[in-house]
Amino acid sequence: MGIDLTPEERFELFGDFDVAGHAVEGQARWGGSAAFRDSRRRTAGYSKEDWRRVMADQGRVAVDLAAAMANGVAADDPPATDLAEANRSHITTWFYDCSYEVHRALGDMYVADPRFTAHYEATAPGLARYVHDAIHANAGRA
């Protein structure tokens, strides 16, 4: 992923997440894509502080989505779809141009891949499906 950090800094920022393994899998699955190349190019220059901002922004959107879900906001209501758009914007800002089509595919992966599902479920049970549904609803209003 082009992350130029010490092992201690990686742990501080990403915890037990296997950054190296993720990079290998990403290369194998998407290495030929423009999005992957763009993400590698952008992240190669990120400092530790940049990564703190990336993780904080990402976490904030997930927490806000969990709060919307807990407050009974339907995934296709504007507060949820606006948060899905914030998620898409986060990806575009920090990694690669995330089209609505790509964002839908990511939403599908959040419920199809147990690793991604577990990430969201750790924040709130049912959140992976809620995020998926909000992403699809947001793409549908584009």
Domain annotation covers residue 2: no
CB atoms near residue 10 (< 10 Å) = 17
CA distance 119 to 86: 18
61 vs 69: CA distance, rounded Å: 12
Residues 85-96 have pLDDT tens digits of 999 999 999 999
- How many structural domains comprise the chain? 1
Cα gap 51→131, rounded to integer Å? 23
Nearest CA-CA partner of 30 in 21, 39, 42: 39
pLDDT digits (tens, 9 = 90+) for 19-74: 555 566 655 666 567 887 888 888 888 888 888 898 889 889 999 999 999 999 99
On whether residue 61 sits in a domain, the answer given is: yes
pLDDT-based confidence at residue 13 (cuts at 50, 70, 90): low
Q: Judge whether residue 6 has pLDDT over 80.
A: no
pLDDT at residue 102, rounded to an integer: 93
Contacts of 77 by beta carbon, 8 Å cutoff, 6+ apart: none
> Which pTM does this prediction carry?
0.82
* Residue-level pLDDT at 1: 45
Chain mean pLDDT for the chain? 86
Residue 30: which domain range? 7-140
Residues 6 or more apart from 125 whose CB is under 8 A from it?
none
Contacts of 132 (CB under 8 A, 6+ apart): 107, 108, 110, 111
**Is the confidence at residue 17, as pLDDT, over 70?**
no
Here the CATH number for the domain that contains residue 122 is 1.10.490.50
Residue 1 lies inside a defined structural domain of this protein? no
CA distances from 32 to 36, 37, 69 (A): 7, 8, 36
Burial group, residue 59, by CB count within 10 angstroms (0-12, 13-18, 19+): exposed
The reply to whether 75 falls in a domain is yes
